[in-house]
Amino acid sequence: MILSIYETTSLYIPLVQPAQLPSSISIDLTSFWHLSALFSIHYDSMTLPTRTRTEHPFSLDLHDLTARLNIHGQRKIVNPEVTVLSDHATIHDLVLMGWPEVVGERPILGSVLRGSLEDPDKLSQIFGRTGIFSERYSTYSHSSLTLVSFIRNFSLFPRRFRKYSPTTQDQRVFQPLPPCHLTLRQSYPG
């Protein structure tokens, strides 16, 4: 069954109920209602670039996103991850929702920031398994394919955002954006 899905789809994202949760998240894992909130953090965050306006530098459509995740064309499975970050982010805030027995697939991380953040680079260091990020490929010119494979959502946004030098007209567009570099999407049921 999964084979049939795999052949047809462009990208397959398994959403497995996580084995353990960080202390920052308190939900009832036996409840589908609660669990769907966790899943929708990922869903919402990951598809955010497809919903942003095209004049924003981090706007991507599904095809572009897939092309960056699935660089060889036939590795369609990715590892979804979710974090809810407070002021002091640690690696333990990471919730892994991919297949536990499959390692090495590209991680895509949806995150919700609920605190203040001064240095986005620090987050990149905490959550990057290799410390290499997709948006650094112009700085680190070697093996850009590897770098692209470690695409992470929140590092993707700020780096593009920073490298982009806005014109006066663009600054008008950027002005209403909140000062924090993450776009907040919160999807907890009430």
Residues that bind another protein (CB under 8 A): 1-2, 4-5, 8-19, 39, 43, 61-63, 66, 99
Degrees to nearest 5, angle at CA 95 with 145 and 117: 80
Q: How far is the CB of 70 from another protein (least distance, A)?
A: 10
Q: How far is the CB of 130 from another protein (least distance, A)?
A: 25
Beta pairing class for 106-113 and 78-85: parallel
Residues 6+ apart with CB under 8 A from 48: 153, 183, 185
CA–CA separation, 165 vs 57, rounded Å?
10
Distance between the two ends of the chain, CA-based, in angstroms? 36
When the beta carbons of 37 and 126 are compared against another protein, the nearer one is 37
When the beta carbons of 99 and 140 are compared against another protein, the nearer one is 99
**Hey, what amino acid is at 67?**
A
Q: How far is the CB of 103 from another protein (least distance, A)?
A: 17
The H-or-E segment that residue 94 falls in is strand 94-96
Q: How far is the CB of 60 from another protein (least distance, A)?
A: 11
CA–CA separation, 34 vs 27, rounded Å?
6
CA–CA separation, 123 vs 143, rounded Å?
23
When the beta carbons of 54 and 167 are compared against another protein, the nearer one is 54
Q: How far is the CB of 176 from another protein (least distance, A)?
A: 29
